[in-house]
């Protein structure tokens, strides 16, 4: 880079950067280190190292030559004083990633992080001691990494497992002021390069803690280099040489000529590292001369921690590393955004800071990083194998790795490589060089021998036919293409407000019908789940909804986009209808196992009204059948803010949703087949419920002459399920069902099963809108229930009697043992309720010694508890019952609330009370009143203030939050506020924290007032007040 403009030289002040970093809570060590780099920049220092100032490094010993007979034994004795550190701060943005590169699958289903964890576990077993292991994560990788490592409890249980890399401001290239980017403030920051290792060790307190624990030697490597493991001969040599710092180097090849190299500074004969960004243009040829500068830095470093501490203290709290300038745009995805400088440092450059520093030349087996798709394809192929101790090494039958030359424009990002290898990874074990020009798709049946060149200058991808290709050039220009399954990139721009709530994204139908609105959200979802490892190529996508307006059209769009994103099998509910609990059942139960779904799009706005002028919604459910967790929904939202294009197969045929059956669409070239099956969406759910309940006992109840029931589907999607359950399975008459035909606008009604909107049911049951009994022309049925639009909610009534959702949850939990699903598994173990739900179930839990959880509103929190053992290796809380005051109840048979399950649970309880057909009928009211007599009664009421101004509602909530401390202790009439706070939930399963989950006023007598803003409204805001 040229020297800075005269207006900046010396005049630039570091103070704005100091203020920004201090406000962000960054430690002094980070601020001092960045100030040093900033001052170098402001003084006109370019950071360049001219060829005239250095000499080639010579006399670098080889690892094979330094090994001694006692090296391994001596090294093993030093392990108790050693720590293995992996640098894990990189997102791999240069490869199109927005998550930790270490979470990229590198061999089979194993990611870099999987293999690293397995290496550590293998080492601990081999040496029978707890070899210390640590990660330097970044602010961008910490959460994902720590969540991923939950599968390795022996690793993640270490309280000192991670410390977090610092971040520094991007600088305006003209003024050197901190860059400002209100559209996405995260873009204002960047990692300071891996040279931040030293400031992060010092600033986090990790360095002092390790020294206090007697740790002397640190081995550092990048997380994407799986060949870099703790080598006992190297550890022994490092200790015997009494080095302060040692760098592992390797012989440079043409593949490495652009990487940093080891050199000797001529003025003081000091070993230094010169990176490519530090080489003047006029010296580029000599920089790349691998016969002159023979050794490159592998970034495998050995550090004496006590000497590092001395050097930091000597320099006033930091290591003075050479500064590297990188010119970027402040938003890496927007070339038109502000031009900035990112100041970075290289950790290997610290070699020049230690007088007692050395280097060792190591074999290529200790260096297998991934910087480009070339590297990733090579590692994924048979050219590399995994050793028993989980190292990734070159296949021993090969003398050298093939030279890789994938088209740098077509394969710049991982997503392109994933699409190109969807049909399998080619064999490279006998290949010496592979060059690909244009976009070519491979299969596992492609075998390359010798030097192979493939070209495709056409505008669409071409699939290379199966076969062995030996020392040849293949031109695919005239080859048949993908035809109907050929993906097209469609330009788009971000659309504000696409943040999924607790139940997905909901807006007015007209909004979803606007150009690109649905497509942006769907593409953002695919981009997120693919980066998180969803197996979309071999598993199945489920699509369906509650039948509301725009449902069929949205399904066709999703199908075409799914195929473009690599999905090969799709199940759609007949007529486009699938209830939310049925989707969960299909994901969890429908087989065979190799077809099991990776997830589902559910098109629903739940209980909100439907129609062209009403609400529409979409939510994504994950592989366990439950709603996407926050890390997924947050990822989706982040992608919606930066999306520039979406993928779609515009020529893929529309699917006939009216008829069950299978459609197969084959590519023109015959390489790919997509299977779309329109399925009976009812069967899987009903079959599952038949394993949960005793249908014979329920039928006995329903057939009693003194018992009658009515079930109101409110013209939502429950109608087909209600018919299958009550008419076909339980043999009841059609008059037992109300409004069982789904319509796109719920027949003009609000399909919300409560006393306000379920007017047809309450009229039949003899209830007014407050739940009080009213006279009816004919006696009401003994039992009544209603479902909402997507059939996950329920309302339960008896004759002239309303059961509150909170009481319903408590009563089902108290009678769980009459339901076979719970009885046959040894009984109920745990219950959970959302925070605003009344404490009725708490009393049941206390009496029956059940684990009890109070969670935020949102079924995903219950799902985590259900999967505590299976997915997280934690406590088994199942069998499990849970519920919310908003008419949602369910169990661990699926991972959604289930309206039909709740109705059958009540019928099972009634059947148990009425097992003697000669005895008088025990009614719903009698059961509830018996419960009150046993446990006491929890009074409860909820008020919904709908369609209020969102900004004003947010301001009101903020004012109550700010007054929490003042309100605590206040008395109002007979009530005194013991605590006023904002509910925060620490998930006992994955350790995540959910903040701002409702404002609580907790009275001294146990009464509560709660305020929440609803995340499920289609427009405006809904303020919920719970008493």
Q: Are 884 and 800 in contact (CB under 8 A)?
A: no
Question: CA dihedral in degrees (145, 148, 149, 152; nearest 10)?
Answer: -170
d(CA 462, CA 669): 8
In this structure, the strands spanning 82-88 and 132-137 are parallel
Q: Of how many residues is the chain composed?
A: 1027
Q: What angle do CA 497, 502, 505 make, to 5 degrees?
A: 35
Point out which residues pair with 570 in neighbouring strands. Answer: 541, 676
* Residue 1000, C-beta contacts closer than 8 angstroms, at least 6 positions apart: 835, 979, 980, 981, 982, 983, 1008, 1009, 1010
d(CA 23, CA 28): 12
Which is the catalytic residue, given 584, 606, 868, 1014?
606
When computed from its CA atoms, the radius of gyration of the chain, rounded to whole angstroms, is 32
d(CA 688, CA 996): 36
Q: Are 132 and 215 in contact (CB under 8 A)?
A: yes
d(CA 639, CA 505): 14
Per the annotation, the verdict on 138 as an active-site residue is: no
Q: Look-up: residue for tokens 């049909």? A: 423
d(CA 436, CA 1021): 54
149-155: long-range contacts, CB 8 A cutoff, minimum separation 24: 149/113, 149/117, 150/872, 150/873, 150/990, 151/873, 152/117, 152/121, 153/873, 154/121, 154/124, 155/117, 155/120, 155/121
- DSSP letters spanning 583-640: HHHHHHH-S-GGG-EEEEEEE--TTS--STTSEEEEEEE-TTSSBPPHHHHHHHHHHH
**CA 354, chain centre distance (Å):** 42
**Buried/exposed 108-132: b ≥16 CB within 10 Å, e otherwise:** eebbbbbbbbbbbbbbbeeeeeebb
Q: Look-up: residue for tokens 């759910």? A: 685
Q: Look-up: residue for tokens 């407000």? A: 497
In this structure, the strands spanning 324-329 and 661-666 are unpaired
Point out which residues pair with 454 in neighbouring strands. Answer: 436, 474
d(CA 731, CA 200): 70
Q: Are 223 and 88 in contact (CB under 8 A)?
A: yes
Three-state DSSP class for residue 431:
strand
203-212: long-range contacts, CB 8 A cutoff, minimum separation 24: 203/26, 203/27, 203/28, 203/29, 203/30, 203/166, 204/27, 204/163, 204/164, 206/134, 206/160, 206/163, 207/305, 207/308, 207/309, 207/312, 208/309, 209/160, 210/83, 210/305, 211/305, 211/306, 211/309
* Residue 371, C-beta contacts closer than 8 angstroms, at least 6 positions apart: 94, 95, 224
d(CA 902, CA 68): 72
Q: Are 484 and 665 in contact (CB under 8 A)?
A: yes
Point out which residues pair with 1003 in neighbouring strands. Answer: 977
Nearest Cα residue to 304 out of 204, 209, 235, 226:
235
Point out which residues pair with 881 in neighbouring strands. Answer: 831, 891
> What's the count of helices (H) and strands (E) in the chain, helices before strands?
32, 51
Catalytic positions: 606
């Amino acid at each position: 880079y040229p020297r800075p403009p005269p207006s900046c030289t010396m005049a630039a002040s570091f103070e704005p950067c100091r203020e920004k970093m201090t406000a962000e809570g960054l430690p002094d060590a980070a601020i001092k280190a960045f100030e040093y780099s900033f001052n170098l920049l402001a003084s006109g220092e370019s950071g360049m190292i001219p060829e005239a100032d250095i000499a080639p490094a010579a006399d670098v010993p080889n690892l094979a030559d330094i090994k001694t007979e006692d090296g391994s034994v001596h090294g093993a004795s030093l392990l108790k004083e050693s720590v293995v550190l992996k640098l894990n701060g990189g997102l791999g943005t240069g490869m199109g990633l927005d998550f930790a590169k270490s979470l990229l699958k590198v061999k089979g289903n194993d990611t870099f992080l999987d293999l690293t964890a397995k290496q550590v576990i293998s080492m601990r077993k081999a040496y029978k001691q707890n070899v210390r292991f640590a990660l330097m994560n970044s602010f961008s990788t910490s959460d994902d990494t720590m969540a991923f490592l939950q599968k390795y409890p022996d690793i993640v249980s270490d309280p000192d497992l991670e410390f977090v890399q610092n971040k520094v401001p991007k600088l305006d290239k003209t003024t050197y002021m901190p860059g400002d980017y209100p559209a996405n403030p995260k873009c204002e920051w960047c990692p300071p390069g891996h040279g931040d290792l030293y400031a992060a060790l010092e600033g986090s307190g990790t360095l002092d803690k390790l020294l206090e624990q007697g740790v002397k030697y640190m081995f550092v490597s990048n997380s994407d280099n799986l060949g870099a493991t703790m080598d006992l001969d190297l550890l022994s040599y490092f200790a015997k040489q009494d080095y302060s710092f040692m760098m592992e180097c390797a012989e440079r090849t043409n593949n490495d000529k652009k990487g940093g190299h080891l050199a000797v500074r001529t003025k003081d004969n000091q070993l230094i590292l010169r990176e490519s960004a530090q080489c003047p243009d006029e010296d580029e040829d000599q920089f790349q001369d691998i016969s002159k500068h023979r050794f490159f830095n592998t970034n495998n470093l050995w550090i004496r921690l006590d000497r590092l501490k001395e050097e930091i203290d000597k320099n006033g709290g930091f290591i003075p590393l050479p500064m590297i300038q990188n010119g970027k745009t402040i938003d890496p995805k927007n070339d038109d955004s502000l031009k900035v400088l990112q100041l970075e440092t290289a950790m290997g450059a610290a070699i020049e800071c230690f007088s007692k520093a050395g280097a060792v030349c190591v074999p290529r087996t200790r260096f297998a990083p991934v910087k480009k798709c070339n590297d990733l394809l090579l590692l994924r192929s048979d050219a590399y194998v995994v050793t028993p101790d989980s190292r990734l090494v070159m296949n021993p039958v090969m003398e050298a790795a093939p030279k890789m030359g994938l088209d740098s424009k077509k394969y710049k990002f991982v997503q392109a490589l994933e699409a190109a290898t969807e049909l399998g990874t080619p064999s490279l074990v006998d290949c010496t060089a592979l060059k690909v020009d244009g976009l070519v798709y491979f299969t596992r049946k492609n075998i390359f021998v010798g030097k192979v060149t493939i070209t495709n200058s056409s505008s669409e991808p071409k699939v290379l036919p199966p076969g062995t290709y030996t020392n040849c050039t293949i031109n695919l220009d005239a080859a048949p293409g993908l035809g109907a399954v050929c993906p097209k990139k469609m330009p788009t721009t971000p659309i504000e407000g696409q943040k999924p709530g607790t139940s997905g994204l909901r807006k007015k139908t007209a909004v979803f019908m606007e150009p690109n609105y649905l497509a942006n959200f769907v593409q953002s979802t695919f981009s997120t789940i693919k980066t998180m490892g969803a197996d979309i190529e071999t598993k199945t996508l489920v699509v369906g909804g509650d039948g509301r307006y725009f449902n069929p059209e949205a399904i066709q769009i999703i199908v075409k986009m799914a195929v473009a994103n690599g999905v090969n099998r799709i199940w759609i509910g007949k007529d486009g209808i699938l209830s939310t609990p049925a989707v969960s059942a299909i994901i969890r139960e429908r087989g065979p196992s190799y077809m099991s779904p990776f997830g589902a799009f559910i098109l629903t706005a739940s209980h909100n009204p439907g129609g062209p002028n009403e609400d529409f919604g979409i939510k994504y459910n994950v592989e366990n059948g439950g709603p996407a967790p926050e890390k997924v929904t947050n990822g989706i939202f982040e992608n919606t803010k930066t999306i520039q294009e979406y993928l779609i197969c515009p020529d893929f045929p529309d699917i006939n949703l009216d008829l069950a059956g299978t459609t197969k669409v084959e590519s023109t070239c015959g390489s790919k087949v997509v299977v779309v099956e329109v399925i009976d969406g009812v069967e899987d759910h009903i079959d599952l419920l038949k394993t949960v309940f005793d249908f014979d006992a329920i039928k006995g109840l329903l057939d009693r002459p003194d018992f009658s029931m009515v079930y109101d589907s409110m013209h939502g999607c429950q109608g087909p399920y209600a018919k299958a359950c009550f008419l076909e399975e339980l043999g009841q008459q059609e008059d037992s069902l109300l409004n069982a035909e789904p319509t796109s606008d719920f027949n003009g009604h609000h399909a919300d099963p409560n006393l306000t909107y379920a007017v047809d049911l309450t009229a039949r049951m003899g209830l007014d809108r407050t739940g009080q009994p009213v006279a009816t022309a004919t006696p009401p049925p003994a039992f009544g229930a209603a479902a909402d639009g997507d059939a996950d909610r329920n309302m339960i009534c008896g004759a002239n009697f309303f059961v509150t959702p909170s009481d319903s949850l408590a009563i089902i939990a108290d009678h769980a043992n009459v339901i076979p699903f719970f009885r046959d598994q040894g009984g109920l173990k745990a219950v959970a309720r959302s925070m605003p739900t009344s404490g009725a179930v708490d009393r049941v839990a206390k009496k029956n010694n059940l684990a009890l959880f109070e969670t935020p509103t949102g079924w995903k929190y219950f799902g985590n508890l259900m999967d505590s053992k299976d997915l997280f290796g934690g406590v088994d809380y199942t069998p499990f019952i849970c519920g919310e005051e908003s008419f949602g109840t369910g169990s661990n048979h699926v991972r959604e609330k289930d309206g039909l399950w709740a109705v059958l649970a009540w019928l099972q309880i009634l059947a148990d009370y009425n097992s003697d057909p000669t005895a008088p009928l025990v009614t719903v009211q009698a059961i509830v009143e018996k419960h009150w007599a046993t446990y006491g009664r929890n009074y409860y009421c909820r008020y919904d203030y709908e369609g209020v101004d969102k900004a004003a509602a947010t301001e009101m909530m903020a004012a109550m939050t700010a007054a929490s401390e003042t309100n605590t202790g206040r008395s109002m009439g007979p009530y005194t506020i013991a605590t006023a706070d904002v509910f925060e939930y620490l998930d006992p399963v994955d350790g995540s924290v959910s903040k701002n989950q409702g404002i609580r006023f907790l009275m001294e007598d146990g009464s509560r007032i709660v305020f929440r803003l609803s995340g499920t409204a289609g427009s405006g805001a809904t303020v919920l007040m719970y008493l």
